[in-house]
Amino acid sequence: MRPGERPEIASLPLFRDMQDEQRDRIFSGSFLQVFPPQLTLFEQGQRPDFLHVLVDGLVELYASGAGRDTTMRVVEPVSSFILAAVVTDMPYLMSARTLTSSRILLVPAAKIREVVRHDHAFMDATMRELAMAYRDMVRALTDMKLRQSAERLGNLLLQQEQRQGGTGTVKLRAEKRLLASLLGMTPENLSRAFGVLAAHGVRTDGANVTLADREALEALVRPDAISD
Amino acid sequence: MRPGERPEIASLPLFRDMQDEQRDRIFSGSFLQVFPPQLTLFEQGQRPDFLHVLVDGLVELYASGAGRDTTMRVVEPVSSFILAAVVTDMPYLMSARTLTSSRILLVPAAKIREVVRHDHAFMDATMRELAMAYRDMVRALTDMKLRQSAERLGNLLLQQEQRQGGTGTVKLRAEKRLLASLLGMTPENLSRAFGVLAAHGVRTDGANVTLADREALEALVRPDAISD
DNA sequence: CGAACCCTTGATGGCGATCAAACGCCGTGG
DNA sequence: CCACGGCGTTTGATCGCCATCAAGGGTTCG
C-alpha cells in the first residue's frame, strides 16, 4: 500500500469508527491488487469472496439478462462495492469489470462477516452504508420509471455539476456509451438527448460539458428536491 | 393488540433475535392503529416519525415526480416498511397509503434508532433486512431496464405463483391498475400484456390467473435463476 | 498510415403512452 | 327490485419516444 492510502481507506465512513484492533484484523487479511483495464473482477451468480474497495481507477457494475447488459453503477475511488452480497453471503446480482487500470483492496468476505459480528461500530457503519445504498437504488428506480431519457440526462448533469464543485462545468469520467447504459438508453439516443439539452443551455465538447443556463435546464428537468 | 398478533410480530426476522427486554421497550412505546382505505399515511419528503409494521390489510408505497406517480411496492402483512428512512433519519423517498382497511403498528423512529444502538442482535437483523431490501431494489431496477412489459408481467406471475404455493394459480391481491403501475406501465398496456401472455398459457378470470403452460411462459420470459 | 472504435446523424420500425369509447361490475337510490 | 351512475377493465386508433439499422466523421493506437 502506498503511503497515504491506508489512512484514506481507514477514514472511509465504513471503516472510520471501528476499533483500531478490528480494523487491523481486516486490513491484515486483505491485499491490494492492480488490475488492467477491461478485466472482469467477478460475475453475477457467484458467491462473494471479497469485499472490494476501489482505491484508484474506475470500475463498472453491470447486470445481464434477457440477452442484454445494463450498467448499474460506476464506482469511483475511494469507495467500497458489493457490500450487500458480502454481508448476506448471497450470490452477486451484478458483475464487475475495470474500466481503467485499477488498484483494488480485496477484503475476504468471511473476515468482513466475522468482524461485523464482533465490532459494534463497524456493524453500525455497515448498516448505514446499506441504508444509503438502498435509498440510492430507490432514486434510480423512480428516475427510470418517471422520467424520459433527456430528463434523466439533464438530471444527472445537474447532480454531477454539484458534486464537482458547482462551477457550471461537468467532466464526464466515463465513455458516453457507458453513460448511456447507466441512464438506460442507447448511445445513439444519448447523443440525441444532448441535442435536446443544447436548446436549454447545455454545451458539449467531448467529455467536457458546460451548463450555460441552469434555470432553463432545471425548468426542463424539474429536479426533485429530495433527490439531493 | 389481538391475541396471537404480538407473537406474530415478535417472530418477524427483524425482531426475532433481539433481547426480550429491548423488544418490550420497543413495543411498549408503540401503538397499534386502524386506518381506513385510501388514507395517506405519510408523504415523501417528510421526516420519518414511525417505523411502520403492517399487521393486517394492504399498503401501497409510491413515488411522485415529473407530475406523475408510480407504485414502488405493495406491502403485505406481516412486514415492516420504510426502515431505511428511519435508521438514517432522512426524509422519506416514498409516500404511503392504505389500499384496504389496515392495522398498523407504529413504532417511534427515535426509539428504533435508540434500541438499534444498544441491542446487537437487533442491529444485525436491521442490517440484514436493509441488505435484502437493497437486493430487491437491484432486481427491480434490472427488471425495468432489461425487460419489456409483457416479460415483466410474466416474470411477476411466475414468482407470485411460487410464493403462493406453486399450484399453477395466482390470485392478484390488488387492482390491475395498481399492478400496472408497479410494473411501470399503464392499465391499458397491462391488459394487452395479459393478451400477449394468453398465447403462452396464461388464462385470466378477474383476479384469478392460471398458468396452464409453465414451460411456454418461461420460454418467453427467460426468468433469471438469480432472481429467486 | 491504416484500422479499429467511438460518437454522431439520418431513416425506419416497434413498443408503449395517450386518447377515446364500450363493456361489466357494483353500489346507491328511487 | 330495478334503474342509474361510477369506476375499473378492456379494446381500438393514433401518436411519440426510443431502439434498431445504416453510414459517415473523428480520434486513438498499433
Q: Assess contact for A6 and A72: CB atoms under 8 A.
A: no
Task: Output the pLDDT for position A224.
Answer: 81
Supply the pLDDT for residue A100.
95
- Which positions on chain D have an atom < 7 Å from some protein CB? 8-13, 17-22
Q: Where are the alpha helices (DSSP H) in chain B?
A: 5-10, 13-16, 20-28, 83-88, 109-118, 120-146, 149-163, 176-182, 187-198, 214-221
Burial (0-12, 13-18, 19+ Cβ within 10 Å), B104: buried
Contact A226 B120 (CB under 8 A): no
pTM of the model: 0.95
Cross-strand bridge partners of residue B59:
B75, B98
Q: Write down the pLDDT at residue A199.
A: 93
A2 or A163, greater pLDDT: A163
**Three-state secondary structure string covering A137-170:** HHHHHHHHHHCCHHHHHHHHHHHHHHHCCCCCEE
Nucleotides of strand C within 7 Å of the protein's CB atoms: 6-11, 15-20
Rounded to 5 degrees, φ, ψ at B211 are -100, 95
State whether residue B130 is helix, strand or coil.
helix
The nearest CA of chain B is from the CA of A2 a distance in Å of 32
The answer to whether the CB atoms of A141 and B139 lie below 8 A apart is no
Nearest chain A residue to B73 by CA distance is A138
Q: How far is A4 from chain B (nearest CA, A)?
A: 30
- Domains A3-143 and A148-221 belong to one CATH topology: no
- Cα–Cα dist B131/A22, whole Å: 22
| Chain A residues closer than 8 Å to B133 by CB | 134
Contact yes or no for B137 and A139 at CB 8 A: no
> Of A6, A91, A104, A95, nearest to A51 (Cα)?
A104
Burial of A36 (0-12, 13-18, 19+ CB in 10 A): exposed
| pLDDT tier for residue A13 given thresholds of 50, 70 and 90 | very high
Q: Look up the CATH number of domain B148-221.
A: 1.10.10.10
Q: What percent of chain A has pLDDT over 90?
A: 89
Burial of B217 (0-12, 13-18, 19+ CB in 10 A): buried
Residue A227 confidence class, pLDDT cut points 50, 70, 90: low
CA distance B15 to chain A (A): 16
- Cβ-proximal residues to B175 (8 Å cutoff; 6+ apart), any chain: none
Residue pLDDT, tens place only, B131-189: 999 999 999 999 999 999 999 999 999 999 999 998 999 999 999 999 999 999 999 99
Question: Strands B169-171 and B208-211: what pairing?
Answer: antiparallel
C-alpha distances out from residue B183 to A186, B151, B162, B178, B203, Å: 22, 10, 18, 9, 19
Q: Which of B87, B117, B135 sits opposite A131 (nearest CB)?
A: B87
User: Is residue B205 helix, strand or coil?
Assistant: strand
For A107-116, A218-227, B26-35, B159-168, which range has the lowest pLDDT when averaged over its residues?
A218-227
Chain A residues 131-160 within an 8 A CB cutoff of chain B: 131-135, 137-142, 144-147, 151
Q: Is pLDDT above 80 for A19?
A: yes
Report yes or no: A71 and A61 within 8 Å, Cβ to Cβ: yes
Q: Tell which residue, B114, B137, B88, B111, has the closest CA to residue A125.
A: B88
> Each residue of B100-121: pLDDT tens digit?
999 999 999 999 999 999 999 9
Cβ–Cβ gap A65/B224 under 8 Å? yes
Q: Residue A225: what pLDDT? A: 67
Nearest DNA or RNA nucleotide to B183 (CA to C1'): C16
What would the mean pLDDT of B28-37 be, rounded to a whole number?
93
**Candidate from B66, B84, B135 with C-beta closest to A131:** B84
Place of cell 420519518: B48
pLDDT above 90 as % of chain B: 89
For the residues B186-196, what does the mean pLDDT come to?
A: 97
Q: Which fold has domain A3-143?
A: Jelly Rolls (2.60.120)
CB contact (8 A) between residue B146 and residue A70:
yes
Residue B7 — very low, low, confident or very high, per pLDDT cuts 50/70/90?
confident
Domain boundaries, chain A: 3-143, 148-221
Kind and range of the H or E run holding B54 = strand B50-56
